[in-house]
Each structure stands twice: as C-alpha cells, then as structure tokens.
Structure 1
Amino acid sequence: MKYRFLIILATCLMVMSCSEDYPATFEGDPYLIFPTDDHGYNIYVQQHFNNFYYYGQEGVDRDTIYVPLNAFGAIPKEEVAVKLEAFNSDTLSFPERIDSATENAVPGVHYVPFESQEMINLLKYKANVMEDSIPIILLRDESLKETTFRLTFRLAEMENAKVADNDENRVVVYIADKISRPSNWDFWYFGIYGDVKLDFMINHSDLRWTEDDMEIVLSDSFLLAYYVYKFKEDLKKYNEELGVNGPLREADGTVVTFDRTY
C-alpha cells in the first residue's frame, strides 16, 4: 500500500510539472500566409502562369485564378476581409525569382484592382478553416499579345488577422496572350525551345502544351515516348511537303528539330 501511494504521488507531481511547462494556447488574431510552391525553398514567393493564348477563344476577356492562403497560430473565428497590395516587383529583394523579360502589370488593364468594390466583395477568408483561397481576376488586353506582364502582390495589414513574413511572402502572376515557353519545358526530350516548334506541337496534337499539359506528359513515360515519336515523324513529313522552302525554321533561322539536348 505504501509503495502504491508513492507511485500515485510521483505520477501527480509529474503531471503537475508537465502542465506548468506546456506552452499556453495562442489566443490572438490568426496569421495569414501564402504557402510556397514546390520550388519556393526558403523564399516565400509563389508563382502562377496564365496565358489567354491557349483558351482558343478571342471572346474570353477575363479569367479568374485562385491563390491558396493559409492561417496559422489560430483558426479565424470570423470571416477575414483580406487586403492585398500590388507593387512594382523591380524592388524585390530576390530579383532572380522574377522573369526580367516581363513588365509590371497595370491595374484596370491587366487585372481588376484590389481596391475596387468587385474585389473587396470577393477577397474573403472563411471562418473556422486553416486553408482557403482567394480569387484574382485577370484581364485580357491587346498588350498581352506582344509582352508578358507580371502582377506581384503581397498581403496588407488587416483588421482581424496578422500578416506573416510580409518581407518575402509574395505572389507573382505572369499574364500573356501569346505563344510562350512552358516553365517546365523539357530540353532532354523536346530539344531547344522555339515558338515555331511549340506551335507545331499544338497543331500536331490534341494538347495546348501548357504547364499542366507538360506535367501530365512528363509524368507518363509511355505518353511522352508517343509524342516525341509522333512529332519527329510529323516533322519529317512536313519538311518533305515544304520541299525547297524547308526545313521548318524558327524566326531567327534555327532549324526546328526534336533531337535531344545533351
């Protein structure tokens, strides 16, 4: 009985000690943060690509993309009115994360301004969830046919939520309406990239060869082998049809091939 009493006493003391060391529950406003993409490393920059060229319809004049947003520290107990701030990304601390061949997007021309009533009504983070997404409305402008623009924005101060890692917690959206190299283009299987080559691939397949299409094909070795073989055979026939006007070339005169790049 004596030993049993000592064991119970020791257990109570351990529990009391642990409860004193256990950190207090966070009870402040939740922190909001843009989660990083697969290539984010330690730099909080999330990137999205949107190209109206692949929609195949000139009548499409806007598109909505959804950017993931997470809460931590606490779950929002009420809906959060999310505030965003677009900025000139030439001032980024890590300029290598931005495509320098692009230009800063213009509000009202390339995207619906965040301070507009339309966006204020849409930029909401739901209550009682740890993960949500917010809409960004992109606009199709004639300038996108010549230049790729970039919309760079970050979280701004909000009434009932805090901004986490605001220095580098940013999103970059690239917007275009012209043929352009998919970010995950595979040089090993498709060779050096070219606009004429990509246009040939689109016209000789059932795909638009967007980043999503490329990811699907590259993840399936049989499908990848099929398309590589098909493009080589189709290009051979196409060059024969061109005759003395061939072979197929890029704008700078480079001959289009699907030879592997070593």
Structure 2
Amino acid sequence: MKRHIILKLSMAFLCMPFLTACEKELKPYSDNDAWLNFRYIDWDTREELMQDDSYYSFAMRSASLGIDLQQDTVWLEVETMGFLSDHDRTVELQQDTIKAEELEENGEAEAIPGVHFVPFDDPTLLTQSYVPAGATRTKVPIVLLRDPSLDEKNVALRVTFKDNGIFKPGYPAYNTHTIHISSRLTKPSQWDMYYWDYNFVKYSETIHELMIQWTGEPWDDDYIKQLAEGDPTYLSYLRSYFQEKLDELNAERQAQGEDILREPNGDPVKFEPMSF
C-alpha cells in the first residue's frame, strides 16, 4: 500500500507542470535519464510479485536439489523508467547499509562482501547484469556464499542500484531489496506472501523440517506457490495429515519415556494456524 501511494503522488507531481501550463505549447519529452526499480508489482494487473525482503536458506535449497551447495545465485527482476535503448545497458548493484537496531531486532549480522556474497564489481557478474537492447526488464544475479559463520548466525544483504552514468536509482520504495541468508532452514518468502501463518500453519524451523521429512518435498518458494495457487482443500488435508504424523511421533516418544516434541522455546510443536 505504501508503495502504491508513493507512486501515485510522484506521478501527480510530475503532471502538475503540464496542467498549469496548458496555454503554452508543450515541448517534446527529451530527458535522456534512465532509472531502475526492483519489479515488486505488475502494474498491468496490480499483482504483487515479490516483497521488499526475501529469505534464502542453503539448507533448504540443498535439500530441494539433492546436493550440498556452497554457493548459489539469486536472480532479482528489475525494470527501467525512461526511454528505451537500441543497445545493451549495464546494471550495477551496490550494498546498502542496514541500521544496527534493525539487525539486532532480527538477530542478524550484516553480510560481508567476499565472505557471504560475491562482490558486485566482480567482472563475471557485470557481464551478466544488463538490460538488453529494446527491453524494459531483466533479471540480475547475486551470488551468495555459504561461509561457516552462517552456521552460527544469519546475515542480511541489502541491495540497491549504483548510479553508473547509465542508470540511476528509481523510486525509494522500489530501489532496495534485502536478502536474509542462512545455512539453516528459514521461512520462505512465499510463506508470507500467502499469509500462511494465518491460512495454513504458524511457521517454525521445526515444522519446516518435519514437512520436508514427511513429504520428501523441498517446501521452498516454488513449491509453496504451487500449493497456494492450487486446491485449498488439499492444504487442509495436509495440515490434518501433519498433525496426525505429529501425534504418532509424540506417542512413540512418550512410550520411550521422552517428552513430546517441543520448539526451542519450550512450546509444544503444533500444526495450527495463528488466530487473527
């Protein structure tokens, strides 16, 4: 909603000079500047495509691919404002600083170039980061690295656009994106997109691990989107199925003199949604 309001106000201010000068001859638009935004919204359908934050887990990605990943590439879609071009135009990214209180609130550290991600000025990355001739959209790569420090603490990487003389950063609400990086299981971004804490089950790493174990599915963004856009009754079935499996597991644990399965904070594991 905030991004919608900012864009509408910006467009209104841009239009004001034309409204107040209607008696004058309008000059052709000749500004050669070009800007970049992350493509958060499809303006034709008003569909939200992704959020300001995304979550990447080496553990989840490795499980989905069946290999032990030590690095991986995340592709973010960007779009241009301004005139089209008849030649390819290089897109350059840069790291944006995250406030200490925000990192502390999320229990994260700030990502370090060369340790947690390949620096954005890497020549190989730059050859893959461009808007093709005649295009207004492209995807740019961010290469994440599985440093051992991720076993102890998650890191956050905030990305923005560098003014490289070809492109400038676009609207403030659309020109940054934050990737939360972990070696452990972490909540997929699509989980929040579909409000699954309220519509399916409240997320926890324990629940995530059990769902992967009991279904053999990765439960990553692609799989969650597939389920969310499918038959809603199947989600209800899955929740019941998981709770039955949990009840069986707890019964086995108690028969062996063990406690029921609990979250790290001591709460019993439950396959239940949050209440509104």
TM-score range, shorter chain: 0.7 to 0.9
SS state of the match for residue 204, structure 1?
A: helix
Over 3 Å counting, the alpha-carbon distance change for 1:73 and 1:223 in structure 2 is: same
- Summarize the alignment of residues 55-204 of structure 1 with structure 2, pairs less than 5 Å apart: 55-56=62-63, 57=66, 59-90=68-99, 100-165=106-171, 169-183=175-189, 184=191, 186-188=196-198, 190-204=200-214
2:261 paired residue among 215, 223, 248: 248
Q: Structure 1: which amino acid aligns with 2:70? A: D
C-alpha RMSD over aligned residues = 3.2
- TM-score when normalising by structure 1: 0.78
Deviation at 1:37, TM superposition (A): 5.2
Kindly state the Cα deviation for residue 49 of structure 1 after the two structures are TM-superposed: 2.0
TM superposition shift of 1:254? 1.6
How far does residue 58 in structure 1 lie from its aligned partner after superposition? 5.7
Task: Kindly indicate whether residue 250 of structure 2 is the aligned counterpart of residue 239 of structure 1.
Answer: yes
> In the alignment, which of 32, 37, 41 is matched to residue 33 of structure 1?
37
Unaligned runs of 5+ residues in structure 1 are: 1-17, 39-43
Structure 1 pair 49/24, CA: closer, same or farther in 2 (3 Å)?
A: same
Structure showing greater Rg:
1
Counterpart of 2:244 in structure 1: which amino acid?
E
Query: How many residue pairs get matched?
Result: 238
More displaced 10-residue stretch of structure 1: 170-179 or 242-251: 242-251
Q: Please give the alpha-carbon distance, in whole angstroms, between the structure 2 residues aligned to 1:246 and 1:224.
A: 28
Contact 1:87–1:152 (Cα < 8 Å) also in 2: yes
- Structure 2 unaligned regions, length at least 5: 1-21, 43-49
Q: Deviations over 1:97-150 (max 9, x none)?
A: x97322210101111001222223222221111111111111111122222211
Amino-acid identity (%): 23
> Which TM-score applies when normalising by structure 2?
0.74
Q: Is the 8 A contact 2:71 2:146 kept in 1?
A: yes
For 1:214 and 1:162, the matched residues in 2 are separated by: 34
Aligned to 1:63, the other structure's residue is in SS state strand
